Amino acid sequence: MADLAPDVAIVGGGIAGGVLATMLAKNGLDVVVLERETTYPDRVRGEYMPPWGVLEFKRLGLLDILYENGGLHVERNIPYDENWSPEVAEARALDVSKLLPDVAGPLCIGHPTMCNAFSISARAAGAKVLNDIKNVEVTAGNRPTVSFVSDGSPIQLKPRLVIGADGRNSTVRKQLGLPVLADEPHNLIGGMLVANVPDFPRNIQTMGTEGRLHYLIFPQGNDLVRLYAAYDFSDRASFAGPDREARLLQAFRLKCLPYAQAVLAGTPIGPFHSFSNEDHWVDDPTAPGVVLVGDAAGHNDPITGQGVSIAARDARIVSDILISNKNWNQADFLPYVEERRERMRRLRIAARLATKLRVEFGEEARARRARVAERMRDRQLSPLPVSLVGPERLPNEAFLPETIEKLIA
């Protein structure tokens, strides 16, 4: 490599890493991105962003990249659920296209598509993106180092700053020894991409619970839909084995869902993987010369689909700090640390409640879900809207234990 002392080395070229590289390189910084993959695989995550996440990409000036790569807005959320008939569910639909000014609603787009798009935009902005990187080792300090192997050759960089954007199992985070806090696992969630579903409307999303399954359906371009299913650990065997993709598809034979037959006629074209859904977070995702972003800094329970939005907010705040301040001491990232800490706290509270309402089963849970839905229709205070409009738009009272107890009692 010509420059072994770039301004910034970003470990991880996914969404957070690609967005940051694009923004920093556009503003004249010398950026190197280290990515282990040569092609981005379907990881069954990060394919939906609520309106507040769309607004983050708009603030970054990168929303057009998502449109150019097939990003699709949905206009209504329809709660097809065992508690009411499809007709009643449609009458209860939420217009999600008008929740935030100048935001056309949630956006659906494939995770590998986004990763690839921002890798291309980073290169176009002037960043150097290296793929098939192995054996990354990061050392923190006033002048941190990043060692790795590229094309069989060992290389060491001495950037001014290292950004860890290498996902949930972050190598950078582990090497720095940053402690990870976590909730207890509650249940499993998994997803799968399905083609040949032309009869599922492109302008709606839906989610609900029937029996022992909480499901979510988000459309993508052409005739694609992304299916998600959340279920109890005790039901793990129902979605395991070499035929697990077929098993998941058959789980959508739901009485509450009028599009069930359209989904069942589809063709699985991606893998089905499931994982436990709970929050993980790092209280302070910084060290001397290093800052973590995206899932590397901790991730929200995916039950509310916040991952891409969190990554975009991280990238916007960190890039603003780096562009406006040329010193880059650890203390300069304190505004990011404090904002993220409170943001993740609020999202964590909302996700815990969403999981309790959606992924607990039986008659008591069904009645609770219906009761809370009615109270929210009557505009009783709740933390749940935070997942659509953003963590800072609700009063602190929405996140108090007594508010939640009143909501579900």
Residues 6+ apart with CB under 8 A from 79: 89, 92, 93, 94, 206, 207, 208, 373
Is residue 263 within 8 Å of residue 200, measured between CB atoms? Answer: yes
192 and 298 co-located in one domain: no
The residue range of the domain holding 98 is 73-103+187-276
Q: Where does a domain end: 231, 249, 276?
A: 276
CA 58-64-69 angle, to 5 degrees, is 130
178 and 202 co-located in one domain: no
Residue 350 belongs to a domain: no
Model confidence pLDDT, tens digit, residues 153-179: 999 999 999 999 999 999 999 999 999
**pLDDT-based confidence at residue 1 (cuts at 50, 70, 90):** low
Q: What distance in Å separates the CA atoms of residue 104 and residue 74, rounded to the nearest whole number?
A: 8
Model confidence pLDDT, tens digit, residues 267-293: 999 899 899 989 999 999 999 999 999
Q: Closest Cα to residue 203, out of 227, 223, 192, 219?
A: 219
**pLDDT-based confidence at residue 325 (cuts at 50, 70, 90):** confident
Q: Above 80 in pLDDT, residue 86?
A: yes
Q: What distance in Å separates the CA atoms of residue 10 and residue 3, rounded to the nearest whole number?
A: 15
224 and 258 co-located in one domain: yes
- Domain containing residue 55: CATH number: 3.50.50.60
Residue 68 belongs to a domain: no
Residue 351 belongs to a domain: no
Residue 296 belongs to a domain: yes
Residues 6+ apart with CB under 8 A from 155: 1, 4, 147, 148, 149
E-assigned strands of 87-144?
94-95, 107-108, 128-130, 134-139
Residue 352 belongs to a domain: no
Q: What distance in Å separates the CA atoms of residue 401 and residue 409, rounded to the nearest whole number?
A: 12
Model confidence pLDDT, tens digit, residues 352-395: 999 999 999 999 999 999 999 999 999 999 999 999 999 999 99
| Domain total of the chain | 3
E-assigned strands of 232-334?
267-268, 273-276, 280-281, 286-287, 290-292, 298-299
**Average pLDDT over every residue of 320-343:** 95
Give the number of other Cβ atoms within 10 Å of residue 154's Cβ: 10
**Average pLDDT over every residue of 82-88:** 97
Model confidence pLDDT, tens digit, residues 177-220: 999 999 999 999 999 999 999 999 999 999 999 999 999 999 99
CA distances to 369, 370, 383 from 408, in Å: 8, 10, 12
Model confidence pLDDT, tens digit, residues 29-81: 999 999 999 888 877 777 899 999 999 999 999 999 999 999 999 999 999 99
**pLDDT-based confidence at residue 326 (cuts at 50, 70, 90):** confident
**Averaged pLDDT score across all residues of the chain:** 96
232 and 85 co-located in one domain: yes
Order of strands across the sheet with 153-157?
134-139, 145-150, 153-157
306 and 160 co-located in one domain: yes
**Average pLDDT over every residue of 256-270:** 96
Q: Above 60 in pLDDT, residue 318?
A: yes
